[in-house]
Amino acid sequence: MNIQAADTNITTDREPKMQARRVNVFYGDTHALKDVNLDIYADEVTALIGPSGCGKSTFLRCLNRMNDTVASCRVKGVMTLDNEDIYSKQVDVVQLRARVGMVFQKPNPFPKSIYDNVAYGPRIHGLARKGDELDEIVFTSLQKAGLWDEVKDRLDTSGTALSGGQQQRLCIARAIAVNPEVILMDEPCSALDPIATAKIEELIDELKGHYAIVIVTHSMQQAARVSQKTAFFHLGNLVEYGDTVEIFTNPQEPKTKDYITGRYG
């Protein structure tokens, strides 16, 4: 599938990792997303911002088809991963989700040991043939998630016994372990204290070289700190999308300006 750059106002010489074109999403009669066009690039962090209920989570969940689990949800338009339509019939959702991982707002480790939490994905996808290969995956994932030093002595204690911030990093490790290409994060820090938040932000910064990252956040500072691209949603519309520096210093749309300067709730 090849989408003409002329379709949109987005011009770039790089090939996007994921693309959304004319995406419309409905929950029953609710029109949650309206004609959204967005590109997501590898080795970059894309932040989605906007007031509550504007459709950020909805958009994020379209990217790995988690919306399939919502019975009333219909998605129209085109979404691609490496130029392949992820909503076409040939696509295996299970494989798609292995390539596009997700971290949720509230940390949701399984009530299993820390080790089993991280090993869950690799086991399901048969990524390790031998026990020590699995050990290796668990080790590198925890290391990348910046959690290894804190948990290396208690890998067999329950993941739910960790602190909130540790749990969230465990969830990130769990997502990394299946070796995804894109990681989606829906307000990953909203349940965490400032120190845990700083750790996660640091982590996102380190991860961005390896994965395309899309993060939903309500914190302007966070968007400004961690992202290279920012998309501002309002009432289901994508109002403005561009380089984070541009958006925060020189927004084109008055609505964007109002929102980031805090004049809009």
Partner 1 sequence: MNTYIVLLILLALSVLNFTLGKKRVLAAVNGDMAGLHSLPNHYGWFAVIFSLTPSLFILFIWMVSHGHIIDTILIEKIKATYGALSDFEINVHLSDIRNLANNDAVSVAISPELREAADYYDKLRVNSFWAAALLAFGIMLGASAYIAKLITPTLRARNHIEQAVRFVLVASSTIAILTTIGIVLSLLFETMLFLQHVAIDDFLFGLKWSPQTALRADQVGSSGSFGALPLFAGTLFITFIALLVAGPIGLLSAIYMTEFASDRIRTIAKPVLEILAGVPTVVYGFFAALVVAPAIRDFGTYVGLDVASESALAAGLVMGIMIIPFISSLSDDAITAVPQSMRDGSLALGSTKTETMLKVLLPAALPGVVSAFLLATSRAVGETMIVVMAAGMAANLTANPLDAVTTVTVQIVALLTGDQEFDSAKTLSAFALGLALFIITLCLNVVALYVVRKYREEYE
Ligand X SMILES: Nc1ncnc2c1ncn2[C@@H]1O[C@H](COP(=O)(O)OP(=O)(O)OP(=O)(O)O)[C@@H](O)[C@H]1O
Cβ neighbours, 10 Å, residue 7: 12
Pairing of strands 229-234, 237-243: antiparallel
Q: Answer yes or no whether residue 104 interacts with partner 1 by CB under 8 A.
A: yes
Q: Which does 94 bind (CB under 5 to 8 A by kind): Mg ion, ligand X, partner 1, none?
A: partner 1
Contact code string over 72-101 relative to ligand X, x by CB under 6 A:
x-----------------------------
Q: Identify which of residues 35 and 68 has a Cβ nearer to partner 1 in the complex.
A: 68
Q: Are 34 and 236 in contact (CB under 8 A)?
A: yes
Q: Answer yes or no whether residue 134 interacts with partner 1 by CB under 8 A.
A: no
Q: Are 82 and 40 in contact (CB under 8 A)?
A: no
Ramachandran category for residue 47: left, alpha or beta (phi over 0 → left; psi -120 to 50 → alpha): beta
To which residue do tokens 């085109």 refer?
A: 78
Q: Which does 124 bind (CB under 5 to 8 A by kind): partner 1, Mg ion, ligand X, none?
A: partner 1
Q: Which does 52 bind (CB under 5 to 8 A by kind): ligand X, Mg ion, partner 1, none?
A: ligand X
Least distance (Å) between residue 45 CB and ligand X: 18
Stretch that binds partner 1, among 37-45, 96-104, 132-140, 229-237 (CB under 8 A): 96-104
Q: Answer yes or no whether residue 163 interacts with partner 1 by CB under 8 A.
A: no
Q: Answer yes or no whether residue 169 interacts with ligand X by CB under 6 A.
A: no
Q: Which does 53 bind (CB under 5 to 8 A by kind): Mg ion, partner 1, ligand X, none?
A: ligand X
Contact code string over 19-58 relative to partner 1, x by CB under 8 A:
----------------------------------------
Least distance (Å) between residue 163 CB and partner 1: 12
Q: What angle do CA 32, 90, 24 make, to 5 degrees?
A: 15
Least distance (Å) between residue 151 CB and ligand X: 30
Cβ neighbours, 10 Å, residue 66: 20
b/e per residue 208-231 (b: at least 16 CB within 10 A): beebbbbbbbebbebbbbbbebbb
CA 108 to CA 174: how far, in whole Å? 11
CA 255 to CA 233: how far, in whole Å? 10
CA 189 to CA 102: how far, in whole Å? 14
Q: Which does 98 bind (CB under 5 to 8 A by kind): partner 1, Mg ion, ligand X, none?
A: partner 1
Among residues 97, 210, 225, 257, the one that binds partner 1 under rule CB under 8 A: 97
For 147, residues 6+ apart whose C-beta sits below 8 A from its C-beta are 166, 169, 170, 173
In the complex, which residues of this chain contact partner 1 (CB under 8 A)? Answer: 64, 66, 69, 71, 94-99, 101-102, 104, 106, 108-112, 120-121, 124-125, 158, 160, 171, 174-175, 178
